[in-house]
Amino acid sequence: DQQVKQNSPSLSVQEGRISILNCDYTNSMFDYFLWYKKYPAEGPTFLISISSIKDKNEDGRFTVFLNKSAKHLSLHIVPSQPGDSAVYFCAARDQTGANNLFFGTGTRLTVIP
Amino acid sequence: DTGVSQDPRHKITKRGQNVTFRCDPISEHNRLYWYRQTLGQGPEFLTYFQNEAQLEKSRLLSDRFSAERPKGSFSTLEIQRTEQGDSAMYLCASSLEPAQFFGPGTRLTVL
């Protein structure tokens, strides 16, 4: 059963506009949420995280929002740049065991110049 | 480069052969994780080490899989009697909580 879901397999955005990537989860024991960016033939690269006790975390062009009541988080990238084109994975940490991450299936972002 | 490294980057093997992958984590990280990623999916947890102790294994890790982390430094993942279903990207990550930092992965193809 997929505990972390990314329902949009792809997203296209014009350069300079905002990209919004969404993620839903089911397990209320997750204590941290993370976003990773992945290029082909490379491992995922950590972008930004948010604790379950916060609702917003910002780092440069990247902002993550968490809505615990809806079990939903989103990553905003603004302004979007062509170099942001990649697959973005949402991940959640399970604090009850190994602190391993549960990943969504990814959203492929294409930023059009 | 002080990131996570993995070797080899690619491995092609015939069904029934044994393979071994190596991961060198970031030196000050005491937690090390192995994940597997197949096409169209996100990475899935296999096992993790705190220093040299293997503390948890996922049900994905069948008896043909074994992992070690001698002396709490590098780690190896061995797959015995490989099957075509083992074809995947094997990712290693080391952790400075809460973030996990991934290596480039080893892509295994079982013919």
Dist. CA B64–CA A97, nearest whole Å = 23
Per residue of chain B (111 residues), give pLDDT as tens: 579 999 999 999 999 999 999 999 998 888 999 999 999 899 999 999 998 898 888 988 889 999 999 888 999 999 999 999 999 999 999 997 789 999 999 999 999
Q: Choose the closest CB to B98 out of A93, A98, A102.
A: A93
The DSSP code for A29 is T
The SS3 of residue A70 is coil
All residues of chain A having their beta carbon less than 8 Å from the beta carbon of residue B103 are 43
Query: Any chain B CB within 8 A of the CB of A49?
Result: yes
pLDDT for the residue B1: 54
Which parts of chain A have pLDDT scores under 70?
Answer: none
Q: Which residue of A has its CA nearest to B105?
A: A43
Dist. CA A64–CA A9, nearest whole Å = 19
CA angle A90, A92, A97 (to 5 degrees): 155
Dist. CA A75–CA B91, nearest whole Å = 24
- In chain A, which among 92-111 make CB contacts under 8 A with chain B? 93, 97-106
Contact B82, B70 (CB under 8 A): no
**Nearest chain B CA: its distance from A93 CA (Å):** 8
